[in-house]
Structure 1
Amino acid sequence: MNRVVVSSWPFFVLLIVNTGMRTNTLKVIGGKRTVILGEDADLFCRLSEAEEFDQITWQKETRENSNKHNFFVIKPDGTTSNVNGLIGRVLFIGNTSDYLGSIRIRNVTLLDEGTYTCIFSISSGPIQTEMSLSVIVPPVMSVTGHVSPVGDNEVVLVTCIAAAAKPKAEVIWDTGALNKSLRWVTNSTQHANGTSTVLSQLIGLPTRTANQKQVQCVVNQSALEEERTLSYTIDIHYPPQIVNIKASPQAKYFLCVVDGNPRPNYIWSRDVQPWPGSSVRADGDTLHLLSLSSDLNGLYVCEASNLYGSTTGSLYIHITSEISPACWVLLFVILCLIVAAAIFLWSWYKYGKLPCSVASSPEQTSQDMIEVPIRQTEKTTGDEEAES
């Protein structure tokens, strides 16, 4: 009898030790989660070893309610029940056969952020694990310019805002060629819901050199897949500068070129003389010559103006009549006729005949020269007889 009792004692001790070792190795596995506002959060929960359980209970301690309380229960057959809110937003995505009690919280809000506890109720008592759920919020970004006139004092040129972000966004500037002439000041504001707004202002002298230069606001934050860049072109206002009037290749129109911001308004006028009616058309910064005649000759003035001042430039137009190719041909023909007439007259005057007449033979010339005196002799004899 004693032998039996003695032999059973080590077995009883061994049984207790083995049971205790198994209880110590059994645990619930989970993990913290970080999600972006509005996304779904999957909370993982599983027993490390196979073990029968009575139910799986989820508890939470969040911004909405800082007291830990039950909100979801899972039975071994997979049936679920909601308690204390989140109805319709919690989904069981685990598998009780695999001792997996994972859940999904849909459309996460900032109020869902906090600590979640997954509890397996087994015969030896409840075992659990805690996990944190963090919600991050991407910033709402904007860049705004401040229109400034040219001046000698520093002003805020551009403002960049990364609003309602969690965690706080980092804002820097890429000023390119203006790196040495601009600086920035950044401030942040913490909100009650855990988000922050960062406001960064770009400051510098409002000069013509800075006008139309591009700067970039660069925003970094953990909820963004990559850094975001917001570009802005600096806008500095100043009066119109020197007027430069340029002619088109055929001088059929003239362009009044002036540097000014905002863009100047243009007025064309004619100095002293009246405007030449429909022969000229002024269209903004352009003067069109609709017909080319000496009636357009005169001094034309271009006046450019904006809110900050005005300036003028002048153009003198002088148009001379040009001889067309047909006129040159006609003039050449007339000159040829004049030369030909002169040759004919000279020939008639010197030779008594046209230069194109047929030349007479020597015999005919001698005969004509003899006949004249004979006729004159006969006429003389007749006269003598009459006188007798």
Structure 2
Amino acid sequence: MIRSALLMIVLLMSTDAEALQVIGGDVTVVQGGTAILPCHVIDTNDDLTQITWQRKTREKPHNDNFLTILPRDGAQFVNGRDDRFKYIGNFNSKNGTLQLSNVTLKDEGSYTCIFTLFPSGNQKTQIPLNLLGTLNFFFTLSSTINLFLLPPLSLLNFIVQRNAFLCTHDNKHFES
């Protein structure tokens, strides 16, 4: 009888742990824009004790704890304050979402959201942050510009004419 009760408890706990999910997502933002780094837990009744954010970026190539969110104290920066980050989630709803303003190239990288839950322990997800930048070119008429790009594009060729330019890629022509 006691064995059956213990087995039932173990089965219930393992079923609950498998259903628990930390939801994030890939984020792409234009340089200088605002990024929303989504992160929340679903399908759990565990108690949330802490949310931790880590990052591995161009500026910080090693995993770096930078923000901790506690139920009473709220969001607290670790290893230096960065006011571009704002906690916009809701601790009681198990939502750890962050907003990052004025995104720069050095912010590009991988962000990890870690929920400390009782009794299941730490649960986490990674949120890749990708940047779209702009290039400004100044050139003279009748110039030819070749851009070598990372895959899947390999080479763009621009020919500047009087009131337009011709762009070619893989023998396809685009005019503006």
The TM tier, using the shorter chain, reads 0.7 to 0.9
Higher RCO structure, 1 or 2 (CA under 8 Å, sep 6+)? 2
Counterpart in the other structure of 2:69: 74
Counterpart in the other structure of 2:147: 188
Which residue, 126, 144, 152 being the options, matches 2:122? 126
CA offsets per residue over residues 214-265 of structure 1, 9 Å max, x none?
A: 441267xxxxxxx994xxxxxxxxxxxxxxxxxxxxxxxxxxxxxxxxxxxx
Contact 1:143 1:217 in 2 (8 A): no
Which residue, 72, 89, 94 being the options, matches 1:94? 89
Match of 1:22, SS state, is helix
Contact 1:80 1:92 in 2 (8 A): yes
> What amino acid sits opposite 2:91 in the alignment?
T
Counterpart in the other structure of 1:139: 135
Q: For residue 142 of structure 1, report the CA deviation from its aligned partner.
A: 3.6
1:17 aligns with 2:11: yes
CA offsets per residue over residues 180-221 of structure 1, 9 Å max, x none?
A: xxxxx542368xxxxxxx77445xxxxxxxxxx8441267xx
Contact 1:60 1:115 in 2 (8 A): yes
Quick one: structure 1 residues 218 and 74, their matched pair in 2 at CA, closer, same or farther if it must change by over 3 Å?
A: farther
How many pairs align? 163
Contact 2:159 2:166 in 1 (8 A): no
Match of 2:60, SS state, is coil
Taking the aligned partners of 1:218 and 1:38, their CA distance within structure 2 comes to 29
Taking the aligned partners of 1:53 and 1:60, their CA distance within structure 2 comes to 21
> Map of 1:253-264 to 2, 5 A cutoff?
none
Match of 1:104, SS state, is strand
CA offsets per residue over residues 135-158 of structure 1, 9 Å max, x none?
A: 11122144422xxxxxxxxxxxx2
Counterpart in the other structure of 2:171: none
Taking the aligned partners of 1:56 and 1:76, their CA distance within structure 2 comes to 9
> What amino acid sits opposite 2:129 in the alignment?
L
Identity, % of aligned pairs?
Answer: 30
Match of 1:64, SS state, is coil
Match of 1:144, SS state, is coil
Which consecutive segments of 4 or more residues in structure 1 shift more than 3 A? 198-202
- TM-score normalised to structure 1 length: 0.39
Contact 2:56 2:62 in 1 (8 A): yes
Taking the aligned partners of 2:46 and 2:103, their CA distance within structure 1 comes to 32
Counterpart in the other structure of 2:170: none
Contact 1:186 1:201 in 2 (8 A): yes
Quick one: structure 1 residues 117 and 228, their matched pair in 2 at CA, closer, same or farther if it must change by over 3 Å?
A: farther
Whose radius of gyration is greater, 1 or 2?
1
Contact 2:35 2:103 in 1 (8 A): yes
> Map of 1:312-351 to 2, 5 A cutoff?
none
CA offsets per residue over residues 154-181 of structure 1, 9 Å max, x none?
A: xxxx22xxxxxxxxxxxxxxxxxxxxxx
Counterpart in the other structure of 1:107: 102
CA RMSD of aligned residues (A): 2.6
Structure with more of its chain in strand, by fraction: 2
Taking the aligned partners of 2:108 and 2:79, their CA distance within structure 1 comes to 16
Which residue, 39, 51, 56 being the options, matches 1:56? 51
Q: Runs of 5+ in structure 1 lacking a partner?
A: 1-6, 146-157, 160-184, 191-197, 203-212, 220-226, 230-388
Match of 1:140, SS state, is coil
Structure with more of its chain in helix, by fraction: 1
Q: Runs of 5+ in structure 2 lacking a partner?
A: 150-155, 168-173
Counterpart in the other structure of 2:153: none
Contact 1:93 1:101 in 2 (8 A): yes
1:27 aligns with 2:21: yes
Which residue, 164, 167, 173 being the options, matches 1:216? 164
Q: For residue 20 of structure 1, report the CA deviation from its aligned partner.
A: 1.1
Q: For residue 93 of structure 1, report the CA deviation from its aligned partner.
A: 0.4
Quick one: structure 1 residues 54 and 218, their matched pair in 2 at CA, closer, same or farther if it must change by over 3 Å?
A: farther
Contact 1:78 1:96 in 2 (8 A): no
